[in-house]
Structure 1
Amino acid sequence: MTDTPDRIGPILYFRAAEPHALRIAALVVRPEAERPEDMRVAGEAVAPRLLADCEGRRVWRYDLTLPHAAPAYDFEGITRSVVTDFSGDLRIAFVSCNGEEHGDLGRDAAERNGMWHRLHAQHRETGYALMLMGGDQIYADEATHGHPLSEDWPERLPEATPEALADLEAHLRSRFFERYLRTFSAPGFAEVSAEVPALCIWDDHDICDGWGSLRREATASAIGQLLFRIARETYLLFQHAATEADVPELFLDPEGRSLSWRHELPGLTLLAPDLRSERERRQVMGTAGWRGVEATEGGAHTFLVSSVPLLGPRLSLVESLMMAIPRMQKYEDDLRDQWQSHAHREEWRRMLSEVLRMRKAGPVTVLSGEIHLATRAEMGSGPEQIHQLVASGISHRAPPKTYARCLGALAGLGEAPLPGRAIRIRPLPGQATRYVAERNYLRLERRAGQWRAIWELEQSGPTPAMVL
């Protein structure tokens, strides 16, 4: 693990907004011979708790309660301020797709992290209270490389002895640690995450490209299940500052079959269904995941994080075309990953119906990433209208503009999975086309009780504000 840092953090994670304080967790990694010093909040010392270790590094967590009267913490001679009061005007960042499938760890840092530097500069000016991370926080696709059991997985499934699987487990854990340590120590991200608590939901690249949409023989194999277990272990560790023991407290399913989560803030409900843990080729969520969605009643305003866009164009047409052309069938997994796939049509309708049910209690805004483009969508009109905002990706380079134009043309055909409630893909404020091929992230701002959205586009700059 050359060039992999021995020390990262603090990285902050949201726990709860209380009437007079904010509860967060702070994660740090240090060499195994070094116990990090205590943090201090309002003059009181907070000791670290050891969570894990790997190849000479240890992962530690601090559980902090920051009072509104003293919204800061001290660590290693640095005092960092944190927005702790969520009751009035509020700023939330939404980001996704923090990397690329191939060669991400070798990219030029200035190029890769340009949008993170922009987000950090804005935070210094305006103060973000929360960062929602909508999936693909790392790109682990190359973690399987370099080991004979997994080098050609999922295409090839070699016989695996217990000894070989144990060796593969050490290899995968080392590779996942490397990706998290290098990605989360990147300039820009490191500064933001030390002052803005995060809430994260994972998507396929946090495991491997297309997890759950690959053929069952691959995901159900001993290699596939080991890969998922290590991905889950490190996802909990680095995206929630948690271990399996923390699952009942942090997620809606206490048994951890689904890692969906929900948080109630003043005037805002945050819901993030887990679209990966129970995913199969003909299933997006299982019983545990659906139970969490059905138990959410909505409220003054609900932000629903769907790592894969919930409102989208008629991709089922493209799926049918690709399946008819043998040399295009290799892209089937990418389309099966979408809610709009033929395989998920009924489940898609079910989710849209649940969102409409929540809409009766108050506005619902869907936040999505995954497609490496910026766009927005609407379903229905009037008092039942649903907005979707897509921001993707913050460091993944944008696809060609011709791809965005082709997708926009497909969106022009329209889609209405629920009778009488058409889905329409709309241009961003100030933009002429439905999809924008620029790196981007989303700013969500509540002013005097009214939410508005602003896309920060790499070349075009901020869009005019859209009232939600």
Structure 2
Amino acid sequence: MSNHTHDSSLLPTPEGASATGTHKTEQARSVEVKCGPLLNFQRMNDQIWYGSVLIVTSRGHNIENTTIPELSMTTGKSDLDRLEDEQERFSNSTENCDAEDEKHAVRGTMLYSDLENTFWRFTLKISMRNYEIKCQYSFPDLFFPAHGKSLPQTFFIPAISESMRIMFHSCNGFSVGTDEDAYSGACLWNDVSRVHNKSPFHVMIGGGDQIYNDGVRVKGPLKCWTDITNPHERERFIFSKKLEEACDKYYVNNYLQWFALEPFASCNGQIPQLNIWDDHDIIDGFGSYVDRFMKCSVFRGIGRVAHNRLTISRDDVQVKDTGGAKLGSEGPVINFEQCELNSISNYIIGAKPGPYLVERSLSIYTKLGARIAFLGIDARTERTRNQVNYPETYDIIFDRLRKELDEAKKTSAVNHLIILLGIPIAYPRLTWLENIFTSPLIAPIKFLNKRFGYGGSFFNHFDGNVDLLDDLDGLSVDHYTARTHKKERLFLMHQLQAIASEYSVRISILGGDVHLAAVGRFYTNPKLHVPIIKDHRYMANIISSAIVNKPPPQAVANLLAKRNKIHHLDENTDETLMKYFNGDQGTIQKSRSNLVTMPRRNWTMLTENYDTSSQRINGSDSAQKNLHSDIVFNLESVKDGHSSLHGGEVDAGTAHKAANPEEHGHGFDGSLDVSIRVEIDQHDRQGKTQAYGMTIPKLTMRDATE
């Protein structure tokens, strides 16, 4: 029986298992879990939820006789839906509205094993219902040394008619040299847990840098390479087989340690995750150094190692039926050439291998419930200093996107399309700094740095060019707003505008990377007097970063705010950051003149205000109770982008209804509530936050009668 083709809602108890789907042998109980569970969301299709759970166990001496572990799961109606059914249940005694809880057993599939670790995947395929499903799962046969991990883990799947409640984060780690204790570690994940316990998220989206692997060059096997002072000698350095094995071991251990670290680890097992990668998942700045250096042996090798580890950690592969996955006594028992992407994939595969990786880019499309779709563009695999993605890859992405949106029309049309770029696309420019760093004036300083070390950390450790601090990433060639990416940025935005217009879908863009919070917007020039609900050019860029890494100094945030001009993308489209942060509850006061950038750790939640016209007509209690949360979006007049563009931006910040947990996502107009939750005190290990809110309206390009 195949372990990854059956619907877990119909999966019978495997032969050799108990009635609850568990083995009780002493041998199985002796297997220790080193990391996990990590819960992955893959896609939704034909009212089926697809996902998986990843577990990493210690590899025993007798690997050939290792018992295949099993996952035991119970699915049923969530507590909230059970409460809502009480009145109907009492009024109709002949029909029980509660679906009986269903029990499932899922056997593991071994993805990979080395001398120390074995990676197991448990594939989930769950039929969605007309109610929210609560899923509880456990591994009774495995030993979890971490406190609480042996208890059943819980996650939720939305009802067929619901869109997902979404959590977004980026920069989930510390840069090399950061005093982690000074920032109370990864404490904002405590805040995520608190919010999730009150109103569970259905998915958490990782916008890149889910892990920081930069330590490989400071305290790992690449230190001998980065200690070489001459960039030309570093270019010629050979990435030997021995060095590759050492780097691979470093990456494996870094993944196991970071993803097992609380409080992040608890969220991993209870909120299904959906991630793209960025440079720190590989090594700082990968893809953005000069071409000849990116093509050197070490950078190609470290890219290969990082990609293989990411593939396993994201549970992206399935073993081909070639006999290559046979358990052995030494070394990896799965070769990556013997693996392929999961069939019927949510991935959009790039046109050709990246310039510095032998792999193709993996962008992601999936529905996030009934009326929200997600497109995550892999902006790292194909990246160079002069491009983010190949033109041919953009063609593949937008052809697939149109196909998916056409298909969605047949059942439940998409109202909101969330684009994940990882890096902000509506962001201030500091071209004068770019000009200085690329001018001939910098050459004498580079010479002194090369010969005598003058300039210190002003130059990066790899190719000897000017190293822009993470705090000023928006200035570097890494960003869409950089001069070298100007044409590509314009092309991408015009493609998104065309999609929005063709399908009457509101596009919102998620971005991270810059270690501060902000909201940029593209919009039709106010002189053209286009109502916001018909403005297909209006796209908010929600910039939320970092959930763990340290923020930039206040002076950097203020510098960016002062450069917040109204830019003209084209003759019809303007762009600028909005005034979003009306107050600061933190221990270090933000500049009162800076209302557009927030240099604090943060994360974001997004929830659809479900359009229940029938409830409104029927006058149900819940509909009447929440009528006050609807917003009049079209404003009589809009001066420019420095003012509110629509009713959802009016009073944006702490007083906005989207910032209030009691009102967030409880409207009826089909809009999207956005709440950026900002850390109050970096020394508070509870990670308490202040919420700032706004609402994004639906797009209605055509009347319902058309």
Compute the displacement of 1:158 (Å): 5.5
Alignment partners' CA distance in 1, 2:346 and 2:303? 20
Tell me which residue corresponds to 1:217. Answer: 292
Asked if 1:277 corresponds to 2:381, the answer is yes
1:30 counterpart (57, 79, 99): 57
Q: CA RMSD in A?
A: 2.5
1:252 counterpart (348, 367, 372): 348
**1:413-468, CA deviations, whole angstroms, 9 ceiling, x for partnerless residues?**
33223233111111225355110011000010112233110011001611134344
Alignment partners' CA distance in 2, 1:341 and 1:353? 18
CA contact (8 A) 1:314 1:414 kept: no
Alignment partners' CA distance in 2, 1:466 and 1:214? 39
Tell me which residue corresponds to 2:554. Answer: 401
Tell me which residue corresponds to 1:317. Answer: 432
Secondary structure of 1:444's counterpart equals strand
CA contact (8 A) 2:163 2:372 kept: no
Compute the displacement of 1:356 (Å): 0.8
Compute the displacement of 1:74 (Å): 2.2
Compute the displacement of 1:111 (Å): 1.0
Asked if 1:66 corresponds to 2:170, the answer is no
Compute the displacement of 1:55 (Å): 4.6
CA contact (8 A) 1:89 1:447 kept: no
CA contact (8 A) 2:221 2:247 kept: no
Amino acid at match of 1:88: E
Q: 1:179/1:371 Cα in 2 relative to 1: closer, same or farther (>3 Å)? A: same
Asked if 1:17 corresponds to 2:44, the answer is yes
Which is worse superposed, 63-72 or 454-463?
A: 63-72
Secondary structure of 1:364's counterpart equals strand
Tell me which residue corresponds to 1:464. Answer: 693
Compute the displacement of 1:189 (Å): 1.4
Tell me which residue corresponds to 1:48. Answer: 108
Q: Whose Rg is larger?
A: 2
Alignment partners' CA distance in 2, 1:307 and 1:121? 25
Alignment partners' CA distance in 2, 1:392 and 1:110? 15
Compute the displacement of 1:194 (Å): 0.5
Amino acid at match of 1:10: P
- 1:368-387 residue pairs with structure 2 within 5 A? 368-381=511-524, 382=532, 383-384=535-536, 385-387=538-540
2:205 counterpart (115, 132, 155): 132
Amino acid at match of 1:365: S
**1:332-364, CA deviations, whole angstroms, 9 ceiling, x for partnerless residues?**
695000111111111111111111112212100
CA contact (8 A) 1:96 1:135 kept: yes
Between Structure 1 and Structure 2, the one with more strand by share is 1
Amino acid at match of 1:409: K
Tell me which residue corresponds to 1:307. Answer: 422
Amino acid at match of 2:426: L
Compute the displacement of 1:215 (Å): 1.3
Structure with the larger RCO, 1 or 2 (CA within 8 Å, 6+ apart):
1
1:120 counterpart (186, 189, 193): 193
CA contact (8 A) 2:375 2:417 kept: yes
**1:18-65, CA deviations, whole angstroms, 9 ceiling, x for partnerless residues?**
455422110111101265630023423211111123450111111012
CA contact (8 A) 2:316 2:341 kept: no
Q: 1:287/1:192 Cα in 2 relative to 1: closer, same or farther (>3 Å)? A: same
CA contact (8 A) 1:39 1:46 kept: yes
Compute the displacement of 1:323 (Å): 2.3
Tell me which residue corresponds to 2:672. Answer: 451
Tell me which residue corresponds to 2:162. Answer: 88
Secondary structure of 1:157's counterpart equals helix
CA contact (8 A) 2:379 2:389 kept: yes
Secondary structure of 2:184's counterpart equals helix
CA contact (8 A) 1:271 1:304 kept: yes
Alignment partners' CA distance in 2, 1:101 and 1:293? 32
CA contact (8 A) 1:429 1:466 kept: no
Which is worse superposed, 241-250 or 78-87?
A: 241-250
Amino acid at match of 2:107: A
Alignment partners' CA distance in 1, 2:222 and 2:49? 44
Q: 1:213/1:247 Cα in 2 relative to 1: closer, same or farther (>3 Å)? A: farther
Q: 1:15/1:74 Cα in 2 relative to 1: closer, same or farther (>3 Å)? A: same
Q: 1:89/1:339 Cα in 2 relative to 1: closer, same or farther (>3 Å)? A: closer
Amino acid at match of 1:71: K
Q: 1:338/1:20 Cα in 2 relative to 1: closer, same or farther (>3 Å)? A: closer
Amino acid at match of 1:400: P
Secondary structure of 1:112's counterpart equals coil
Amino acid at match of 2:364: W
**1:364-387, CA deviations, whole angstroms, 9 ceiling, x for partnerless residues?**
000000000000011113312111
CA contact (8 A) 2:519 2:541 kept: yes
Quote the sequence identity (%).
21
1:263 counterpart (352, 366, 383): 366
Amino acid at match of 2:277: W
Secondary structure of 2:349's counterpart equals coil
Secondary structure of 1:71's counterpart equals strand
Compute the displacement of 1:67 (Å): 3.9
Secondary structure of 2:422's counterpart equals coil
Tell me which residue corresponds to 2:495. Answer: 354
Secondary structure of 1:22's counterpart equals strand
Amino acid at match of 1:114: C
Output the TM-score relative to the length of structure 2: 0.61
Amino acid at match of 2:348: L
Secondary structure of 2:168's counterpart equals strand
CA contact (8 A) 1:372 1:437 kept: yes
Amino acid at match of 1:261: I
1:99 counterpart (160, 173, 177): 173
**1:202-247, CA deviations, whole angstroms, 9 ceiling, x for partnerless residues?**
1111111111110112211121111111111111111345365116
**1:379-402, CA deviations, whole angstroms, 9 ceiling, x for partnerless residues?**
113312111101001001111111
Q: Gaps spanning 5+ residues in structure 2: where?
A: 1-31, 61-65, 74-101, 141-150, 319-338, 353-358, 406-413, 446-457, 459-464, 525-531, 584-593, 611-669, 681-688, 698-706
Which is worse superposed, 26-35 or 267-276?
A: 26-35
Alignment partners' CA distance in 2, 1:419 and 1:231? 42
Alignment partners' CA distance in 2, 1:419 and 1:236? 43
Q: 1:301/1:9 Cα in 2 relative to 1: closer, same or farther (>3 Å)? A: same
Alignment partners' CA distance in 2, 1:447 and 1:281? 40
What is the total number of aligned residue pairs between the two structures? 460
Tell me which residue corresponds to 1:7. Answer: 34
Amino acid at match of 1:198: Q
Which is worse superposed, 228-237 or 65-74?
A: 65-74
Alignment partners' CA distance in 2, 1:110 and 1:67? 42
Amino acid at match of 2:603: Y
**1:274-310, CA deviations, whole angstroms, 9 ceiling, x for partnerless residues?**
1111111111101453134322235421000011111
Alignment partners' CA distance in 1, 2:378 and 2:47? 30
Alignment partners' CA distance in 2, 1:237 and 1:422? 42
Compute the displacement of 1:133 (Å): 0.3
Amino acid at match of 1:16: R
Alignment partners' CA distance in 2, 1:370 and 1:268? 24
Asked if 1:437 corresponds to 2:497, the answer is no
